[in-house]
Amino acid sequence: MYYKNISYTISHIFVMLFMYLFVAHRYSRRKTIAICMISFLAITTPNILKLNIFPHNRLCYLLVTIYQIVLTQLTGLFISRKRDSKALFVGLSASNYVIAGSIVAAIVHIFTGNLILCTVCCIATHIIILRILYVKIHDIWVSYQQQDVMGSWWKLCLIPVFFYCGFSSLTFFPFTIDDHPENIPGVMLFIIAMFASHIIVLQYVSSESQRTAIYWQNALYESYITGLENQYYLVEQSEKNLRILRHDMRHYSGLIDSLLEQGEYQEIKKVTEHINTVTDGNKVTRYCSNLIANTMLSSMMEKAYSQGIEVQHDIVISREIPVDSYEFAMVVANLLDNALNCVKNFVEKKKCVDIKIRCGQDHLLIHIKNAYEDEIAFDPETGLPKSQRGKNHGLGMQSVQAFSDKIGGSLGCYCENGLFHIMLFAKF
């Protein structure tokens, strides 16, 4: 009974340590530690009921265990920054990693009966597992909790749940591994299968994240190249037209001289207006000082013009900005593209998008508004609009959310007076 009390206490210590290390924190370090310590006491105290006061009462054991599981997972969700399925997956996985250490301690106790030795092995196993996982997957886990990779992880949460149930049925309830030591080989294989499955899941998530990143990078470069091609074409056409204008200037000059001699001043005014119109018509529009953002905006404005959409813009972007220019350009392209897709089928007077961008050394502001007709569905987790075009759409908004999280920004949207507003703000 002593070794069970010690083993359970050690397990609860390490499960809280796993939670603290592998969950992206919502609160400060000091407050998070305090929450974990309070939760540890609330989880450990009921062990007296199931191990000491009612050691042979299975109903008591079951109810206390369920209470401890629920409180443990709620602790992980409570201290998590996003409190979503990813945080729950980390908490459930932590329970599995910890139960592996308890099983090793139980096996050592069965073969040796030495309390000190099994305690040392229990602590050593927990430390080794914690050390390996911290080195191998800590940074990956924390970064994935802050991204919208693969959307919801509720289905993945079933993996640690089934492993935990399997461990419990083989080693603790309704019969312990002490009563059936013949289960030890199967339990060890189960532990190996658990670690292998978690590694495979993590590798799959990593490859899926890389695939998504490559997709958006390719989309960005494609849009960037298209923008460069459009600018090159405009510059080429402007140079051609201006060469023609320069060639004809001597004729215009002669015409103006002739009109001056005749006193036809109104006709001279028409000639100069024509020259100004030709000159203005061959001016290449520059939207901002940043080359990458300007190229992307040129491409999107060309798309809006081809669809008959009026874009009212107020854009100030510095030549050098404190964020990645390509990622920033991709965010602008995604938000503007969503707005254009929303209004492209409207009547002419509603085919309008208003965009305001400010990006300097101290802050970033993107505010886009456009009319809408159909009801907009919002994601209950993020509060952002969901794509109505099917399962494989809506990745652009996920990309914007990931960028906002990366720079510590605030992304939000609302509907007012028939206009949909979306804003991204970050202070550097």
Write the DSSP string, 198-251: HHHHHHHHHHHHHHHHHHHHHHHHHHHHHHHHHHHHHHHHHHHHHHHHHHHHHH
pLDDT for 209:
66
The candidate with the shortest Cα–Cα distance to 105, out of 41, 20, 172, 182, is: 172
Residue type, 128: I
- Domain-ending residue, one of 238, 260, 281: 281
pLDDT for 126:
85
Residues 6 or more apart whose CB falls under 8 angstroms from that of 91 comprise 19, 23, 72, 73, 75, 76, 77
Are 139 and 243 part of one and the same domain?
Answer: no
Neighbours of 157 (CB within 10 A): 19
User: Does residue 66 sit within a domain?
Assistant: yes
pLDDT for 116:
82
Say how far apart CA 201 and CA 224 lie, in whole Å.
34
Token pair 């540890």: residue:
40
Say how far apart CA 102 and CA 191 lie, in whole Å.
11
- Domain-ending residue, one of 121, 146, 179: 179
Are 113 and 237 part of one and the same domain?
Answer: no
Q: What's the pTM?
A: 0.53
Instruction: At 8, list the tokens.
Output: 């359970």
Are 132 and 6 part of one and the same domain?
Answer: yes
pLDDT for 354:
92
Are 133 and 235 part of one and the same domain?
Answer: no
Say how far apart CA 408 and CA 416 lie, in whole Å.
26
Are 254 and 308 part of one and the same domain?
Answer: no
Say how far apart CA 123 and CA 18 lie, in whole Å.
14
User: Does residue 199 sit within a domain?
Assistant: no
Are 102 and 249 part of one and the same domain?
Answer: no
Neighbours of 131 (CB within 10 A): 10
User: Does residue 207 sit within a domain?
Assistant: no
Are 31 and 163 part of one and the same domain?
Answer: yes
Say how far apart CA 428 and CA 426 lie, in whole Å.
6
Chain centroid to Cα 48, Å, comes to 43
User: Does residue 76 sit within a domain?
Assistant: yes
User: Does residue 362 sit within a domain?
Assistant: yes
Are 298 and 267 part of one and the same domain?
Answer: no
Residues in the chain with pLDDT < 70? 1-3, 140, 143-152, 173-175, 202-203, 205-206, 208-210, 212-239, 241-248, 250-252, 275, 278-284, 379-383, 386-395
pLDDT in tens, 175-197: 677 777 777 777 778 777 777 77
Axis-axis angle for helices 395-406, 184-262 (nearest 10): 100
User: Does residue 340 sit within a domain?
Assistant: yes
Are 135 and 270 part of one and the same domain?
Answer: no
Domain assignment of residue 75, given as a range: 2-179
Residues 6 or more apart whose CB falls under 8 angstroms from that of 117 comprise 108
User: Does residue 135 sit within a domain?
Assistant: yes
User: Does residue 216 sit within a domain?
Assistant: no
What's the structural domain count of the chain?
3
Measure the N-to-C terminal CA separation of the chain; round to a whole number of Å. 57
Are 140 and 7 part of one and the same domain?
Answer: yes
Are 56 and 149 part of one and the same domain?
Answer: yes
Whether 423 contacts 365, CB under 8 Å: yes
Are 53 and 139 part of one and the same domain?
Answer: yes
pLDDT in tens, 207-220: 766 676 666 666 66
CATH number, position 408: 3.30.565.10
